[in-house]
Amino acid sequence: MANSKAAKTDVQTHKQVSVAEFFEKNRHLLGFNNPAKSLLTSVKEAVDNSLDACEENGILPSITIQLSEIKAGRFKMIVEDNGPGIPKKHLLSAFGKLLYGSKFQTNGGKQGRGQQGIGISSVILYGQLTTGKPAVLISKTKKDDQAHMYVMHIDVKKNEPEIVSDEPFDWSDKPCGIRVAVEMEAKYVEHKQSVLEYIKQTAIVNPHAEITYISPSGDRLDFPRVTDKLPVKSRLIKPHPKGVELGVFKRMLKATSARTIKSFFTKEFDKVGGGTANEIITIANSSIEDGNKTLPEAKRLKLIDGKFSPKYITPDQVEALLLGMQNAKVSRPSLDCLSPIGGGLLRKSLESEFDLDFVHTITRSATVYRGNPFQIEVGIGYGGELDVDGAIKLIRFANKVPLLYQEGACALTQSIKKNNWKPYGLSQSSGSFPTGPAVIVIHMASVWVPFTSESKEAVSGYPEITKEVKLAIQECARSLQRFIGRKRRSEIEAKKREIFKAYSKEVAQAVTSLNEADAYKLTKDQIEKKSLDTLKKLNKIAESMYSTGADIEALEETVEVLEEQEEKAAKQEVEEKQLESEREEEEELMEEEK
Amino acid sequence: MAELTKKEIVKRLHDLGVDLKKNVDDLKDPHITIPLRTLANAYFDKKDRMIKLGERTQTRTFFNVGQSKKFMQTALVASQIKQLLEQDKPAISTRQLYYILKHSIEGTKENTFDDQATESDPVIEDVEVTINALREQLGLEATPSGVISGPLKYEDLKTDDIIDCSKMGSAGAAIPPNTEPHVVKFKECKADFILVVEKFAVWNLLNQSKFWKKHNCILMTGKGQAARSDRRLVSRLAKEYKIPVYVFADNDAYGYYIYSVYKQGSINLAFFSEKAACPDAKFIGLKTGDIKKFDIAKSNWIKLEGHDLKRLKEISKYEWFQSKEWQAELQAMKDFGYKVESDALVSKSIEFMADTYLPRVIKEKNWLD
């Protein structure tokens, strides 16, 4: 007995250590690398959860995010939504997937934000470990129901969340929703990878959401709803044989309720019927036979029969089956399971977030990489108040979640850099971002976004994906080029008019004076009067000149000439001002001397 | 070029105005045809042994954004010159013309002209070639820099003064800005030759040692690259009195080029060569071979630098440097790798240049043609 008690304590201690330790060891993978990123990750988890929940339940999301600084290095995050709320009996399961995000999912997939998450429970754990305080949750599920306020914490001994207290809460003005409040060690920053930037980008890609942000300094920012139309619901689909990897396949074999291997294939996979299942098994068997030829009889593998139980498939047979899955003829997966933003809405979002002169968006048709359906959307905005001299702004999204880190490692970024932008009217030194007043949005929607690492901030460069991105970028760029071309042309035309107009009077008078005998006898006014007819005719010639379009090269030349002249005029103005101020200084000095 | 009357020049300018007015009346883009003043349109006339302007022209139009401003400037310069000529006003400098024409253009932040050297001066030269008259005839004068002394008397028709260049003391006589016959009327010239020196310091030394009296010559300097009136004066004296011209310039690519401008004219002013060139002028400065011959101390040699070699290469390609003698000299200088300034001759002795070097070179005809 003593022994078994000691063993039990050991297990408990071990468990207790392991949760805290596991978190400490893996916080960089979970998005809690440092206080600044931890705050961002926490907001992201809460907001992504809210958006997903609203979308599932056909509710137009209204989300409020409030950050306040409790004391130096400690912040309180409150995220409130108008989602369906969570009934008490589901509270634990909703928060129960501790450190077990849906990234470990096995049974097929569905486009969702949660795929990138690590679970709100991690946020609660992080807050608890850094401040010792529990999280506070308010939930209301129906209009006439009583709202509850729960105080929750993670029991590190049991490795499970626990409701510490449950009190009724007066939320009568709200039909339903959830409010999460967590205190945590954090740092507030306002740069590229910040909470504010995340919220801005989230607003762009969720035009149906209304988001309010109250910053630690109390500033309130509203991101209004751009559309009342809910996005198309994404659909859960079974995995496609070509998209399944070894580990997942093994887990599926273990978990399935199918009694035979053949029914396992037809039941658990998308687009697999009896014929296809047979083909997979046949290919697997012929590869086993090939392998057997080089082996002594005793070591030869057994061929697979479709009637075998999935539970008794040997590791060698598993590999053979995977080969069969890769090589069998399977129709491409269902593509209607995705939920893109849509070109029109993306355009509206861009226009509402940025002040732009031009926007072009494109949603490519859904297609497949390694058995996974995916869809690429690209939007490009130009002009307005965007920075003219700096690099363009790139905003990346995966399943409507902004990707703020690891820009360089991302295939979406690489596609922008590899594209040659010069012919499209943006300047670029090869292999880097183009420069100019442009913003580019790239969204990848997929049941399974292939991230380069567990931190889920960069998309891998599968050839099918980069090809789609490239085509989308180029279509947007072509449209941008037409816009820039028209803009430049009209700018040049306007400048030309200006120039001719300015010089015409001088030319008319000089020509008149040259044409007059004894021009010196005329007063300035007389010459001006006499030159009016010539001036009128010059203007007439000018008008006929504008209508004949000059070729691009000539226009470029013109622009150079104009820019030179402008530069010269600007320089002169500066010099004159300098001289003037010097003169003034001198005068002041002289007066002082007096 | 026959002597132009003022009336004829005014008529040519008026004709330009009539043409332009007609363009406009026909609702056509007004244009001016201007002979090109570039290297590509300058050629070496072997018979007359001088640089002349070719036949190529450029068309300057108003409704071409790249040319618009220049067209306006050309019209302004032409009309101003015409008005000045019509009024019989005193000649003005190109800088003064620039000031007369510079004003802000109504409705813009721009000026008609912002710079004399790069804007108004080139346009003036364009008008000269277009009207086929020299600026001296157009009532414009460049700032002269030349100084002269020697047995020469002339009448300045602008002031009716008689100038005796043999009585001008150590300063010498300043060469007037306009040396055209209608200003400078030669009265008497007893000189046997004209000695043109590149540098004022050398001219000063020779003038003080009364070189021109001893050798009965005219001694002048254009102080480096000679102004138009300096060149015109030397050319007129050489032609009208049929006396040889000797150019004493530095032993380097720049000295050689200064000599060639006196002799054959320049590319930019190719249209002026017939009036200002002296095709028979000889180079009597130090040649590379003379450095050893006259035993110039090595401490006085100057190593050729990149820009010297570059200029050397350039002039060796000019058509008027193609004679065997010149090509040999340019090659010798390049091989030798050093140059020597005329002033360095003083290191032998103060009198060496006047008493030994120059008389000996002229006597031995040890010059380059």
Q: Would you state the pLDDT for residue A297? A: 83
- Mutation choice for B interface testing from A498, A514, A524, A537 by most B CBs within 10 A: A514
Report the residue count for chain B.
369
Q: How far is CA A540 from CA A342, A531, A536, A537, B63, in A?
A: 50, 14, 6, 5, 12
A235 found inside a domain = no
Determine, for residues B79 and A511 on separate chains, whether the beta-carbon distance falls below 8 Å.
Answer: yes
Restricting to B residues 114-133, those with a Cβ less than 8 Å away from any Cβ of A are 114
Determine, for residues B63 and A506 on separate chains, whether the beta-carbon distance falls below 8 Å.
Answer: no
List of chain A residues whose C-beta atoms are within 8 Å of the C-beta of residue B86: 518-520
Question: What residue type is A226 in one-letter code?
Answer: V
Q: Would you state the pLDDT for residue A578? A: 66
A230 found inside a domain = no
Q: Hunting for tokens 């019989």 — which residue is that?
A: B88
Q: Would you state the pLDDT for residue B14? A: 95
Q: What is the DSSP letter of A102?
A: G
> Quick count: other Cβ atoms within 10 Å of Cβ B81?
25
List of chain B residues whose C-beta atoms are within 8 Å of the C-beta of residue A513: 17, 79, 82-83
Domain boundary pick from A223, A249, A278: A223
Distance CA A282, CA A269 (A): 17
Q: What value does the mean pLDDT take over residues B147-168?
A: 95
Q: Would you state the pLDDT for residue A102? A: 36
Task: Kindly state whether residues A416 and A562 are assigned to the same domain.
Answer: no
The string of DSSP letters for B168-225 reads: -GGG-EEPPS--STTTEEEEEE--SEEEEES-HHHHHHHHHTTHHHHHTEEEEE-SSS
Task: Kindly state whether residues A443 and A556 are assigned to the same domain.
Answer: no
Asked if A209 has any chain B CB less than 8 Å from its own CB, the reply is: no
Distance CA A521, CA A554 (A): 42
A386 found inside a domain = yes
What global pTM score does this model have? 0.58
Give the CA-trace dihedral at A166, A167, A169, A174, to 10 degrees: 30
Task: Kindly state whether residues A484 and A544 are assigned to the same domain.
Answer: yes
A333 found inside a domain = no
The CA distance from A502 to the nearest CA of chain B, in Å, is 7
Domain boundary pick from A305, A327, A349: A327
The residue with greater pLDDT, A118 or B97, is: B97
List of chain A residues whose C-beta atoms are within 8 Å of the C-beta of residue B78: 510, 514
The string of DSSP letters for A41-57 reads: HHHHHHHHHHHHHHHHT
Q: For A391-519, where are the E strands, in sequence order?
A: 393-398, 401-403, 438-446
Q: What structural domains does chain B harbor?
A: 6-141 (1.10.10.10), 147-364 (3.40.1360.10)
Q: What share of chain B is helix, strand, coil (3-state, %, to 5)?
A: 50, 20, 35
Determine, for residues B75 and A510 on separate chains, whether the beta-carbon distance falls below 8 Å.
Answer: yes
pLDDT above 90: residue B335:
yes
The string of DSSP letters for A540-555 reads: HHHHHHHHSPPPHHHH
Question: Which of these ranges, A94-98, A110-114, B38-42, B162-166, has the smallest mean pLDDT?
Answer: A94-98
List of chain B residues whose C-beta atoms are within 8 Å of the C-beta of residue A571: none
CATH code assigned at A322: 1.10.8.50
Question: Which of these ranges, A235-239, B173-177, B321-325, has the smallest mean pLDDT?
Answer: A235-239
The CA distance from A574 to the nearest CA of chain B, in Å, is 13
Q: What value does the mean pLDDT take over residues B218-225?
A: 93
List of chain A residues whose C-beta atoms are within 8 Å of the C-beta of residue B14: 514-515, 517
Tell me how many degrees the CA angle A170-A174-A179 measures, rounded to the nearest 5: 75
The string of DSSP letters for A14-81 reads: HHHHHHHHHHHHHHHHHT-SSHHHHHHHHHHHHHHHHHHHHHHTT---EEEEEEEEEETTEEEEEEE-
Task: Kindly state whether residues A98 and A200 are assigned to the same domain.
Answer: yes
Q: What value does the mean pLDDT take over residues B178-207?
A: 94
Q: Would you state the pLDDT for residue A3? A: 43
**Average pLDDT over chain B, rounded to an integer:** 92
pLDDT tens digits, B233-251: 999 999 999 999 999 999 9
- Mutation choice for B interface testing from A495, A507, A553, A577 by most B CBs within 10 A: A507
Determine, for residues A573 and B109 on separate chains, whether the beta-carbon distance falls below 8 Å.
Answer: yes
A234 found inside a domain = no
Restricting to A residues 545-574, those with a Cβ less than 8 Å away from any Cβ of B are 545, 557-558, 561-562, 565, 568-569, 572-573
Q: What is the DSSP letter of A391?
A: B
Domain boundary pick from A164, A190, A223: A223
Q: In which residue ranges of chain A is pLDDT below 50?
A: 1-16, 99-108, 549-551
Q: Which of A46, A144, A147 is nearest to A87 (CA)?
A: A147
Q: Would you state the pLDDT for residue A90? A: 79
Task: Kindly state whether residues A77 and A171 are assigned to the same domain.
Answer: yes
pLDDT above 70: residue B54:
yes
List of chain A residues whose C-beta atoms are within 8 Å of the C-beta of residue B24: 511, 534, 537-538, 541
Q: Would you state the pLDDT for residue B134? A: 85
Q: What value does the mean pLDDT take over residues B146-151?
A: 96
ipTM at complex level: 0.79
Q: Would you state the pLDDT for residue A448? A: 84
Task: Kindly state whether residues A390 and A506 are assigned to the same domain.
Answer: yes
The CA distance from B273 to the nearest CA of chain A, in Å, is 28
Task: Kindly state whether residues A262 and A348 are assigned to the same domain.
Answer: no
Structural domain span for residue A569 = 552-594
Determine, for residues A507 and B106 on separate chains, whether the beta-carbon distance falls below 8 Å.
Answer: no
Distance CA A512, CA A188 (A): 72
pLDDT above 50: residue B127:
yes
Tally A–B CB contacts below 8 A: 109
Q: How many domains would you assign to chain A?
A: 4
A332 found inside a domain = no
For residue A214, give the H/E element and its range.
Answer: strand A210-214
List of chain A residues whose C-beta atoms are within 8 Å of the C-beta of residue B69: 499, 503, 565
Distance CA B40, CA B270 (A): 11
When CB atoms are compared, the residue of A520, A534, A558 closest to B65 is A558
Name the residue in chain A with its Cα closest to that of B107. Answer: A502
Q: Would you state the pLDDT for residue B110? A: 86
Task: Kindly state whether residues A217 and A278 are assigned to the same domain.
Answer: no
Task: Kindly state whether residues A130 and A181 are assigned to the same domain.
Answer: yes
A460 found inside a domain = yes
Tokens at A135, concatenated? 């999280």
Determine, for residues B62 and A507 on separate chains, whether the beta-carbon distance falls below 8 Å.
Answer: yes
Tokens at B130, concatenated? 């277009």
Q: Would you state the pLDDT for residue A592? A: 55
Q: Would you state the pLDDT for residue A1? A: 39
CATH code assigned at A25: 3.30.565.10
Task: Kindly state whether residues A167 and A71 are assigned to the same domain.
Answer: yes
When CB atoms are compared, the residue of A496, A507, A514 closest to B72 is A507
When CB atoms are compared, the residue of A519, A541, A573 closest to B83 is A519
List of chain A residues whose C-beta atoms are within 8 Å of the C-beta of residue B107: 501-502
Determine, for residues A505 and B106 on separate chains, whether the beta-carbon distance falls below 8 Å.
Answer: yes
Convert A456-483 to b/e letters by CB count within 10 Å (16 or more is b). bbbbebeeebbebbbebbbbbbebbeeb
Restricting to B residues 297-326, those with a Cβ less than 8 Å away from any Cβ of A are none
Task: Output the furthest CA–CA distance in chain B (Å, rounded).
Answer: 73
Determine, for residues B72 and A562 on separate chains, whether the beta-carbon distance falls below 8 Å.
Answer: no
Task: Kindly state whether residues A592 and A535 are assigned to the same domain.
Answer: no
Task: Kindly state whether residues A174 and A297 are assigned to the same domain.
Answer: no
* B152 burial via Cβ count (<10 Å: 0-12, 13-18, 19+): buried
Q: Is B99 a catalytic residue?
A: yes
Restricting to B residues 17-76, those with a Cβ less than 8 Å away from any Cβ of A are 17-18, 20-21, 24-25, 27-30, 62-63, 65-66, 68-69, 71-72, 75-76
CATH code assigned at A457: 3.30.230.10
pLDDT tens digits, A425-435: 888 887 889 99
